[in-house]
Chain A
């Protein structure tokens, strides 16, 4: 496979704050440096792109030294948290703005699908807008003519096609816009979050079309999304961005795993050890409490398709009757359910392990908090709140199925007869 696009040392610097009189003085200074043949004085400074920290400098590097190659026919997923620099990178790739340093070389035409529907004129009819939008995206009139019927068909707006777009529902606008864009034939297609729109039926169509484009069409696609399931099912390779730098590059699966673990660093807790001091007031000693997917290690990603195990290590040296219980809460802190052991634990002078197994396809995707508590059948003996904090991730969804999150913390699979 040939390399179709290569990016070298891509950096992008932005100025923080407002454009005002200060900008003029910086512009003049920059100009003075340039006519004397010196380097831009403001390129040397600039803070790392970390949203949360307070700005100390006037300039920020939204992207810093990004390097990657894309091979022909590859579907590259670009993933990262909000503000990691994904959109900036796409903007540079689609030539909306240029990098501060570095260069991108490409062997093919790039067309972007950034937030579809820009360039629609509300007064023009759907058909007229197909032509206008197609031309904006780089098609010629004859190319559009050839595909006109196909586009109208795909959009499912045939009835309204000669009505001004201002009378359309927002969903219809998106459908029409995506239909135009999907029938583009660039060598490289840049897609940003299009799958977030439309109903399930349309998502199915859209993802199918994306597969078509990259699969049979042999087209190269650069795909940016927060939807990990979509990234996994569509992409062949992935790049993970964090604070403007590329932190990981590999297969789509690996990249998604890396990204999810990255999110776990902060706040998430999969295994908790207890100190003797914490258990001072009880007649038993709690050593550790943890959660993991069955057959995986502590800290690795928990998918919906995994069985989930809770491990408690303790030593009941004095408590006559002991029952452990767990309270599950959703990310807002609302209790979802409580489960308690049904058999009393008798004295045991050694470290004992207790395991609770929750079947797969029980939790919905999302973040969960767990309290651990103990009672003697009548009184509460112990409670630690929010000891564990784990997230459950959507399994890879087959192409053509709903990719989104259904409401509610649980999504159990039951038998339908």
Chain B
């Protein structure tokens, strides 16, 4: 007999033991076949490679484009928020402050935007071949992680430059939480993206909403200004920022790298549990959708 060991079937009467798998209409809440996903790990890496390699083919600047976008956005933010509107970023140079926020925000945003189109953008290939669909959003999250590290390097570069110039900035002890913050950004972006991708298979309304919702969320996540500023100047609306887990993540990221801003362990725990929860919910909904979406997409 061939490799007939694994069985993800629900009923396991003696006779069913030897079946490799079953195709039926039952939808389990979370019947992920992790062994199968593991078997497709090479596909995940190839998708990542494809995303990275093909984006800037036939461009002259190539991967430099990864750096241009956050740099220019930071310059604009610095000009408008700090120079025109006079938002104070304390001892931290405003440009560095903005670059930190944008680097963190970009990763979340790219994960969200990338994964939210999973079903609609890949309907051609999903309609022809089976592979664990969750590979697709996972690969987007991983390839965005690489982009994130490239953008992080430019942030580190400017960090060193400002320190050399005598700016009074330094990371603090919570920097050891860095991997956790990356995980939180990835999970919340991926989770939300999967929920949206599932709903857009039938109803395209969410795609229309997404573009400007992301724009609004950036301001609500205190990317171009410190949360301190909101608490002082706009106390009656402070709750909207305080209870926004993304704002907590952005603020926390700035806190650990620049030692500035409002950080609380409660806020950290809140953001962490939010991202894990939204990821799990995203997985469940994604899993329910992947089996039949091709009929309604």
Contact = CB atoms under 8 A, between A and B. Distances in A.
Interface of A: 14-15, 19, 23-24, 27, 91-110, 112, 114-115, 118-119, 121, 123-124, 128, 131-132, 135-138, 140-141, 187
B86 interface: no
Given A132-B50, A138-B131, 12 more contacts: A14-B295, A15-B295, A96-B128, A96-B130, A102-B24, A103-B23, A107-B19, A110-B130, A114-B129, A123-B53, A136-B43, A141-B46
A135 B125 contact: no
A110 B203 CA distance: 31
Interface of B: 2, 4, 9, 16, 18-25, 39-40, 42-43, 45-47, 49-50, 53-54, 57-58, 124-131, 202-203, 291-292, 294-296
Contacts of A95: 23, 130
A94 B125 CA distance: 13
A119 to B, nearest CB: 5
Contacts of A109: 20
Contact of B128 (A15, A27, A102, A115): A115
Contacts of A100: 25
A105 B292 contact: no
Contacts of A91: 127, 294
A124 B54 contact: yes
Contacts of A136: 43, 125, 129, 131
Given A96-B126, A138-B40, A121 B20 contact: no
A101 B25 contact: yes
The 4 closest A-B pairs by CB, nearest first: A103-B24, A95-B130, A135-B43, A141-B42
A35 B98 CA distance: 48
A105 B19 contact: yes
Given A106-B19, A112-B130, A140-B42, A119 B125 contact: yes
A131 B46 contact: yes
| B-side interface mostly | mixed
A106 B2 contact: no
A180 to B, nearest CB: 12
A106 B20 contact: yes
A24 B46 contact: no
Given A119-B129, A136-B131, A103 B291 contact: no
A103 B16 CA distance: 13
Contact of B129 (A15, A96, A98, A103): A96
Nearest to A97: B294
Contacts of A141: 42, 45-46
A123 B57 CA distance: 7
Given A94-B129, A114-B128, A118-B129, A132 B46 contact: yes
B128 A118 contact: yes
Contacts of B24: 98-99, 102-104
Given A114-B128, A131-B46, A136-B131, A107 B292 contact: no
A105 B25 contact: no
Contacts of B130: 94-96, 110, 112
A400 to B, nearest CB: 28
Contacts of A140: 39, 42
Given A23-B202, A132-B50, A137 B294 contact: no
A274 B166 CA distance: 110
Nearest to B27: A98
Contact of A112 (B2, B21, B128): B128
A24 B128 contact: no
18 contacts: A14-B295, A19-B202, A23-B296, A98-B23, A98-B291, A99-B23, A105-B9, A105-B23, A106-B21, A107-B19, A108-B2, A112-B130, A123-B53, A131-B46, A132-B46, A132-B50, A135-B40, A187-B2
Contacts of A96: 126-130, 294
A137 B23 contact: no
A109 B130 CA distance: 11
A15 B296 CA distance: 9
Contact of A103 (B20, B22, B292): B22
Contacts of A138: 39-40, 131
A173 to B, nearest CB: 15
Of listed A98, A104, A124, A138, residue having the most chain B CB within 10 A: A98
A220 B187 CA distance: 41
Q: Which of B4, B57, B130 has the most CB of A within 10 A?
A: B130
A97 B292 contact: yes
A24 B202 CA distance: 9
A246 B22 CA distance: 21
Nearest to A6: B19
B236 to A, nearest CB: 37
Contacts of B46: 131-132, 135, 141
